[in-house]
Amino acid sequence: MYLIDTNVLSELRKGSRANSGVRSFFSTLNTEDIYLAVQTIGEIRRGVESIRSRGDTEQAGRLEAWLDDIVANHSTRILGFDLECAQVWGKLLSPNPQHPVDKQIAAIRLIYDLTIVTRNTADFHSTGARLFNPFA
């Protein structure tokens, strides 16, 4: 089972123009194998609002519709950040405080025993998380 990072989810949005490794990886999965972290939803929301604040309401609307679809299609597989995750996150952050959001995602991964699917594997190496880079 896989915890999909924002950069991979965003790549999928490109459809047929998406990286061939990403397309190939997802063609082998069942929807039930795909999990998202609430942080991913927050990162996408931040992108929508950044685009909206620049005045590009048309693009912001398209991205918001995409975000709404993601939430609707994965609602039962969006994993929250709870007290247990916070305890693990604090341990991960202590020796190496870079990338705090990625460390929250890693904490969720460790609690739920998932593989993180990301292009940014270097951001997660110090966490001990299982990683897969479909871009490689």
Look up the domain containing 53 and give its range.
2-132
Q: Alpha helix (H) ranges present in 13-134?
A: 20-27, 38-53, 57-74, 83-93, 100-112
Distance CA 123, CA 42 (A): 18
Q: How far is 113 from 116, CA to CA, in rounded Å?
A: 10
| Other CB atoms within 10 Å distance of the CB of residue 68 | 10
CB 131 within 8 A of CB 119: no
Residue 98 is part of a domain; what is its CATH number? 3.40.50.1010
**Cα distance between residue 48 and residue 50, in whole Å:** 6
Q: What is the pTM of this model?
A: 0.94
State the amino acid at position 82 in one-letter form: D
pLDDT digits (tens, 9 = 90+) for 30-69: 989 999 999 999 999 999 999 999 999 999 999 999 999 9
Which helix (DSSP H) or strand (DSSP E) does residue 132 occupy?
strand 131-132
Query: What pLDDT shows up at residue 96?
Result: 85
Name 120's Cβ contacts closer than 8 Å, sequence gap at least 6.
Answer: 5, 7, 102
pLDDT digits (tens, 9 = 90+) for 87-109: 999 999 998 899 999 999 999 99
Which pLDDT does position 42 carry in this prediction? Answer: 98
DSSP bridge partners of 19: none
pLDDT at 81 over 90: yes
Quote the number of domains for the chain: 1
